[in-house]
Amino acid sequence: MPDPRRSLLDDPAGAARAWGHFRRVLRWTAEFALGVIGVVWVVLYHEFGLVSIHLYIASALGLGLMIMLLGALMGLVFLSHRTGHDDSIEDRLDDDTWR
């Protein structure tokens, strides 16, 4: 059995650097989400006035969670690609019978 290929996540210093970058992506995403929520609240207030606090809570939760999920998934894709984690996986289905 050949030695498994290593990724940057196997090195503690490289993993710390990669996860630090991921946390920065999440922080930027959170700041962007707060800005979008603020803009949406202003638009909702100008369109409908102070209708119900539940409308503002639901819009903040819906937009905030959606944007944060988008940022987390995008950050994980970037982390996996930048560290070479995708290339370190052994593909057992990659043989001539499947082509």
Place of tokens 């940022």: 71
Angle between helices 53-83 and 12-48 (to 10 degrees): 150
- Is pTM beyond 0.95 here? no
Q: What is the pLDDT of residues 2-55, one digit of tens each?
A: 556 666 666 778 778 878 888 999 999 999 999 999 999 999 999 988 888 999
Q: For 58-90, b where at least 16 C-beta lie within 10 A, e where not — what string?
A: eebeebbeebeeebeeebeeebbebbebeeeee
Domain containing 37: what range? 33-85
Question: 91 in a domain, yes or no?
Answer: no
Q: What is the count of structural domains for the chain?
A: 1
Q: What is the pLDDT of residues 48-81, one digit of tens each?
A: 888 889 999 999 999 999 999 999 999 888 888 7
More confident residue, 30 or 91: 30
pLDDT value of residue 1: 42
Question: 57 in a domain, yes or no?
Answer: yes
